[in-house]
Amino acid sequence: MSSPPLAPPGAEEPAPRSRGTIALLEENCTVCMLCARECPDWCLHVEGHTEVAPPTQLGARPRTTHVLDRFAIDFSLCMYCGICIEVCPFDALFWAPALVPAEADRAALVEERDALRAWIGLVPPPPALDPAAEPSEEEAAAARQDAVAAARAPR
Ligand code: SF4
Ligand code: SF4
Site to probe by mutation for ligand 1, drawn from 25, 26, 29 as the one with most ligand atoms within 8 Å of Cβ, is: 29
- How far is residue 28 from each of residues 58, 60, 89, 94, measured CA to CA in Å? 29, 25, 9, 12
Atom of ligand 2 nearest to the CA of 75: 4
Please state the domain extents for the chain: 21-129
**Residue 146, Cβ neighbours under 10 Å: how many?**
10
- How far is residue 75 from each of residues 78, 79, 111, measured CA to CA in Å? 5, 8, 7
In the DSSP assignment, the letter for residue 80 is -
Q: Does domain 21-129 have CATH number 3.30.565.10?
A: no
pLDDT tens digits for 94-119?
999 998 888 899 999 999 999 999 99
Site to probe by mutation for ligand 1, drawn from 66, 87, 93, 120 as the one with most ligand atoms within 8 Å of Cβ, is: 93
Confidence (pLDDT) at 4: 64
- The segments of the chain whose pLDDT lies below 70 read 1-9
Q: Against a cut of 0.85, is the pTM above it?
A: no
Around ligand 1, the residues with Cβ closer than 6 Å are 29-35, 46, 88, 90, 92-93
Confidence (pLDDT) at 8: 66
